[in-house]
Amino acid sequence: MEFRVLITLCSLILVLGSCTKEVKIDIPGYEEKIVIDGRIETGMPPIVLISKTQDIYSPTTLDAFLNSFQSGATVTVSDGTTTVVLDQICSDNLPPGTEAMAAALFGIPEDELDNYHLCAYSTFNTAIWGQVGKTYSLKVELNGEVFTSVTQIVNPTPLDSVFWKQDPGANPGYGYSWATLTDPPGYDAYLWEVKRINMVDGNTKDPAFKATFSPVIDDEFFGGQTFDFYYENPFTWDDETVADKDKGYYKAGDSVVIKFSKIDAAVYEFLEKKYMQLGTAGNPFASPTVIPSNIQGGAIGLWAGYSPTFDTLYCVP
């Protein structure tokens, strides 16, 4: 009996050993690319940021982030009639009155802008500021390379109404922001951003608009329909003063400005994949997400047109 067990064990070891195979994974090497992040929206100037990709295995430091931004480019925007070369505007040499806009653009507190040399490209020439119905081409010339893109500012679709209501699963006085939308015929896509304008110590509660967890939608499933939908409060997730049970909700008494922007299909595809990737970051079981780009010439990124409408939501029953 012992002899049979020994034979069985030996056979099992031989079988398992024979199934062993060395697997070699060929990981592509790092290839540096130019990243273009440009936008134009109704009534606002075009703004373009240019940076370089970072090696995933390189140190993640503030200096590495700052050094990735590129200056010295020639950036041109045209609407087919008017063509303007954008000005290089740097955080440590801003025109008076632009500090708040630059702080939101670079993601740096306003009082720290002078400490960094971050450059963007924009213009105070209102002839090339965003207008509904126009198509805008972008041309970036940098280090002998040329990158181009095209976007449009489509006709906006305003929300029918906005309202707040107590959520049944929340503490009393907490709920989501709701809206009613009548989607027009044809393809449409939207971006939802918010900020609270309650006054706190003489300042509005939120200095800039922020996107929600999954802020872009298209009308694949509701084309031409009228329907209600809701979004959470994105500012509460990282706010340590808000109890866990109250995170994601607006509190009764909040005043919220909703920025509801119409976008074209290319912008939607980029943003939808971008926020999908952000939502699954760090999950080893998530499928890889390839983010499309509408930049031609070898760079990656997005040149986006936005057509926003604005509503103020007062969070009262």
Q: Are residues 236 and 127 in the same domain?
A: no
* Model confidence pLDDT, tens digit, residues 5-47: 445 555 555 555 555 566 666 656 678 899 999 999 999 999 9
13-22, 159-168, 259-268: segment of lowest average pLDDT: 13-22
Q: Which of 112, 131, 152 is the last residue of a domain?
A: 152
Q: Are residues 226 and 165 in the same domain?
A: yes
The pTM assigned to this predicted structure is: 0.86
Q: Are residues 117 and 39 in the same domain?
A: yes
Q: Are residues 142 and 242 in the same domain?
A: no
CATH number of the domain enclosing 195: 2.60.40
In a domain, 13, yes or no: no
In a domain, 272, yes or no: no
Report the residue count for the chain.
317
In a domain, 292, yes or no: no
Please tell me which residue, 58 or 37, carries the higher pLDDT value: 37
Mean pLDDT across the stretch 184-209? 93
In a domain, 70, yes or no: yes
In a domain, 193, yes or no: yes
Percent of the chain residues past pLDDT 70, beyond the cut = 88
Q: Are residues 116 and 144 in the same domain?
A: yes
Neighbours of 90 (CB within 10 A): 15
User: Which residue from 221, 194, 189, 220 is spatially nearest to 207, judged by alpha carbons?
Assistant: 194
Q: Are residues 97 and 179 in the same domain?
A: no
* Model confidence pLDDT, tens digit, residues 118-143: 889 999 899 999 999 999 999 999 99
Q: Are residues 45 and 139 in the same domain?
A: yes
Name 121's bridge partners: 48, 88
Q: Are residues 216 and 110 in the same domain?
A: no
In a domain, 168, yes or no: yes
In a domain, 17, yes or no: no
Quick one: which H or E segment has residue 273? helix 265-280
Q: What is the DSSP string of 145-213?
A: EEEEEEEE-PPP---SEEEEEE-TTS-TTEEEEEEEEEPPSS--EEEEEEEE--EETTEES-SS-EEEE
Q: Are residues 187 and 107 in the same domain?
A: no
Number of domains in the chain: 2
Q: Are residues 192 and 101 in the same domain?
A: no
* Model confidence pLDDT, tens digit, residues 70-123: 889 999 999 999 999 999 988 888 877 778 777 777 777 888 888 888 889 999
For 247, the domain range is 161-263+308-314
Buried b (16+ CB within 10 A) or exposed e, 139-167: bbbbeeeebbbebbbbeebebeebbbebe
In a domain, 116, yes or no: yes
Q: What is the DSSP string of 21-51?
A: ------PPPP---EEEEEEEEBTS--EEEEE
